[in-house]
Amino acid sequence: QVQLVESGGGLVQAGGSLRLSCAASGSIYRIDDMGWYRQAPGMQRELVASITNGGSANYVDSVKGRFTISRDNAKNTVYLQMNSLKPGDTAVYYCNAQVVRPFTFNSYTKWGQGTQVTVAS
């Protein structure tokens, strides 16, 4: 079994910063793409940022220049540095990983449990 454990959410004033972490543990051969999604109340879950195993990153337009995704492959951990936060960034943030199983090398998607980010105006 594989677990993704997120941390770093909380309440912050507009203009502030938070850093989210998501660590994967368990039966892992390799993790390919990792990403951060968010879901605000009454809204669909949206992709915020993703990063390949090689470090290539993509961002939704609304966070470009403010958020930075990074990863430590040795620790199977992905980070999301969020700066210049806005009330519109308020949501539950979920991490996501494409996990490759050992032995079979099958790939599947694993989700974290979510962490609340609240930005006060």
pLDDT tens per residue, range 58-99: 999 999 999 999 999 999 999 999 999 999 999 999 999 999
pLDDT given for residue 93 in this prediction: 98
pLDDT given for residue 38 in this prediction: 98
pLDDT given for residue 6 in this prediction: 95
Confidence of residue 116 (pLDDT cuts 50, 70, 90): very high
How far, in Å, CA of 38 to CA of 28, rounded?
25
Confidence of residue 21 (pLDDT cuts 50, 70, 90): very high
How far, in Å, CA of 3 to CA of 23, rounded?
8
How far, in Å, CA of 119 to CA of 104, rounded?
43
Q: What is the mean pLDDT of the chain?
A: 97
